[in-house]
Structure 1
Amino acid sequence: MATATRRKRRTKSERSAQAAEALARAVENDSQANYQPIIDGFLARGLKAEDIKPRENVFTYPAWQAKGRQVRRGERGVKIFVRVPIDESKPADNKPATPDAKKAKQTVGRRAVVFHISQTFEIGGDDSGQPLPAAPGGDDNQAPAPRKPNAERIAAQLRRSADVLTSQIEHKLRPMTQRPTARRNWHYIQRQFEGQDMLKTQHAMHALADAWVAGTIPESLKAVRQRYAILRMVSKGVDTSGYYSARRTDEYRDNSETAQTLRRFLAGDADATRRAEEVEAAEQLTSRENELRLCSRPGFFPTPDSVIAEMLRRADIQPGNRILEPSAGMGHILRALIADPLPTIRYAMGSIDIRWCEINAECREFIGTSIDYPRCQSLSEDDVHDFLDIDPCDVGLFDRILMNPPFENGQDAEHAMNAADFLEPGGRLVAIVSEGLFYRRDRKATEFREWLDEVDGYSFKLPDNAFDGPDAVRPTKVATRIVVVEEPAE
């Protein structure tokens, strides 16, 4: 009984080498069959048909290496389908086949990627991108000139790469949805910085794409195409050395000559400059907002968005109304008014006046820099910023008053009763007050309840977690109510 010869297993490197050799041989021998796909593929890359010559100028990656040439990094080849012959007649131990051995040749389909000579350079030489010398036998063997960069193609690549960042930017710049703590706020600030860096990168890539199309791209910036490299060139560092602190530094992450050239190029682009200024302003506001978010200030609890929406619904703002916010804080109610969340406000935006008052200097500064609306101004032009010290005869009366006064020491009662004196006949006051005013027996709480009965006002309780939900800037578990008071019409 004949003993079967056991095949010797080939190593991975041997299999790869044999496959590369067979594939290169198949492409070379079968080039006529793949002639048209190769022509079509390289025509789409911008080469002329007479310069392609598949038999002389088109080979696979290992075939080019065997010829002493290397494919340039980043070059994209043309995919073709070939039949690779596999000789199964030789035994695995590499001994000569016996005369009786049955010779069986098989072929297997493989996909190959071929590269043009203009995509290669000589290994160890300095002719990067230069074609091989012309083969003897006539003028038809003349090699093509190096391919020039396609401006439209590069611009499209830059724009596609920039647009990929859109979803990431939206994710990074999303608002905080958890109760703010020092650690969460630290992560939030860093996330905001990352989103703003991506936004700068996106703007820079679009500016580079426009320059490629216009033919104004500087020579030193033609190789600047990678997102991460551009991000480092246009963004400044972040210092996180403090206790749960993150702030921008004055140094750019990349100060190379190319990076400085890119920043000068962007500074000369009016549109890019405007976008950069907008991002810088947003960064400063983010940093300032987070400082105020964690500041130690008794009774400072900015109004959550869900509560503001209910206040606006109760206020029923009409075109031509004059509106007052006497406890502006960080300006959350003001921004909601300007953002016109309700149809009645949207139609009225051209005719309403908004005035605000805030006793805290840091909050006043923040409102002044974060709100840019010509019809939203400070209530007092002099140095009087305490609402309780302002006389309605000096500033006039208002059709609507929306307020969230501080709760400590009965200040909410004082502010609400004082605000009612600023109402026009037929005007309406919508104020947030603490639940304690409705059951405490101290003088301020008692006077407030008596006053609310006299002016025929009403109140309703807010949910227990109204100031303790995910949209609360500075959470508190204090129970609150909304009070509504209407001044009788004449």
Structure 2
Amino acid sequence: MFADLYPFGQAEPLIGQILTRRSAVNRPDRGVVSCPQSIAELMWDNLPLQPQKGWQVLEPSAGHGILAAEGADRGCVMDCYEIDNHRAAEITRAGIARHVRAADFLTVSSEPVYDAVVMYPPYRRNLAVDHILHAHRFLRPGGVLAALVSLGIQNAEGERGRQVRDLMKRAGYQHVLDEADFENGYLLSPTGLRLRAQLLYLCADDVHE
């Protein structure tokens, strides 16, 4: 049951909590559902500029590194952040990334040096917004961010939601996934909830607000 979130026998603490409390505890929201290979390919294929050999690309919250592996196959130099130590180690062992750091991406200081960011952020609407806005600050002028997100991200509330909508109006476009792209056109959350999905592309100018 817990093999993806707690690999290599690390589920014992969680099982202990369940037995002690005699009830299930909330599963940590770490965005552990991997991006399907077909969608990874589509995300890269639809970039406004076709990636060039040697492009520097970031995959934050990388999970098992599906997007990074696709970028490496296209000649890009990949860097990854992944909150889970075991999954970060998997990416390192696969040899698909230049640097792999085990860290909460939202705590990492931004450096606008990347030609592109490719990402599958946590599915929760406001958390996805936080990840996208933070990741956008890692782009060099002229860079592009690509993200697999639910359609509901356009309805995110508060100032952060407004900022994402402003980016979408100013420098973005969308590709809504359907049956031809993705089984039933849905994105599955870690809890199995079906969400209508889209690929969101946001370009960077010379100003990072």
TM tier, smaller: 0.7 to 0.9
Task: Assess, with a 3 A threshold, how the Cα gap between structure 1 residues 415 and 467 changes in structure 2: closer, same or farther.
Answer: farther
Tell me which residue corresponds to 1:459.
174
Task: Assess, with a 3 A threshold, how the Cα gap between structure 1 residues 353 and 386 changes in structure 2: closer, same or farther.
Answer: same
The match for 2:3 among 291, 307, 327 is: 291
Q: Would you say 1:334 and 2:68 are equivalent positions?
A: yes
Cα distance between partner residues in 2 of 1:473 and 1:306 = 17
SS of equivalent residue, structure 1 residue 291: coil
Task: Assess, with a 3 A threshold, how the Cα gap between structure 1 residues 367 and 323 changes in structure 2: closer, same or farther.
Answer: same
Tell me which residue corresponds to 1:377.
99
Shift, 1:297, TM fit: 4.5
Task: Assess, with a 3 A threshold, how the Cα gap between structure 1 residues 308 and 478 changes in structure 2: closer, same or farther.
Answer: same
Task: Assess, with a 3 A threshold, how the Cα gap between structure 1 residues 417 and 318 changes in structure 2: closer, same or farther.
Answer: same
Displaced runs of 4+ in structure 1, greater than 4 A?
293-297, 472-476
Note if contact 1:468-1:476 (Cα within 8 Å) is conserved in structure 2: no
Tell me which residue corresponds to 2:40.
308
More strand by share: 2
More helix by share: 1
Paired-residue identity, %: 23
- Residues 353-391 of structure 1, C-alpha deviations (whole Å, 9 max, x = no match): 21000112232122223x124x5322x5xx7x1212222
Tell me which residue corresponds to 1:355.
79
Which runs of 5 or more residues in structure 1 are unaligned?
1-181, 183-289
- Residues 437-488 of structure 1, C-alpha deviations (whole Å, 9 max, x = no match): 1235x224344223322x421112112683778xx89765211111111223
Note if contact 1:461-1:480 (Cα within 8 Å) is conserved in structure 2: yes
Q: Would you say 1:400 and 2:116 are equivalent positions?
A: yes
Task: Assess, with a 3 A threshold, how the Cα gap between structure 1 residues 468 and 361 changes in structure 2: closer, same or farther.
Answer: farther
Tell me which residue corresponds to 2:88.
364
Which runs of 5 or more residues in structure 2 are unaligned?
8-26
User: Once superposed, what is the RMSD of the aligned Cα atoms?
Assistant: 3.1
Tell me which residue corresponds to 1:423.
139
The match for 1:479 among 182, 196, 199 is: 196
The match for 1:319 among 53, 56, 61 is: 53
Note if contact 2:151-2:196 (Cα within 8 Å) is conserved in structure 1: yes
- Residues 32-90 of structure 1, C-alpha deviations (whole Å, 9 max, x = no match): xxxxxxxxxxxxxxxxxxxxxxxxxxxxxxxxxxxxxxxxxxxxxxxxxxxxxxxxxxx
Note if contact 2:136-2:145 (Cα within 8 Å) is conserved in structure 1: yes
Note if contact 2:110-2:134 (Cα within 8 Å) is conserved in structure 1: no
Cα distance between partner residues in 2 of 1:473 and 1:362 = 21
Shift, 1:413, TM fit: 0.9
- Residues 415-434 of structure 1, C-alpha deviations (whole Å, 9 max, x = no match): 11111111112211111122
SS of equivalent residue, structure 1 residue 480: strand
- Residues 211-230 of structure 1, C-alpha deviations (whole Å, 9 max, x = no match): xxxxxxxxxxxxxxxxxxxx
How many residue pairs match? The answer is 180
Cα distance between partner residues in 2 of 1:314 and 1:293 = 30
Cα distance between partner residues in 2 of 1:446 and 1:424 = 22
Cα distance between partner residues in 1 of 2:88 and 2:193 = 23
Cα distance between partner residues in 2 of 1:425 and 1:415 = 19
Task: Assess, with a 3 A threshold, how the Cα gap between structure 1 residues 330 and 297 changes in structure 2: closer, same or farther.
Answer: farther
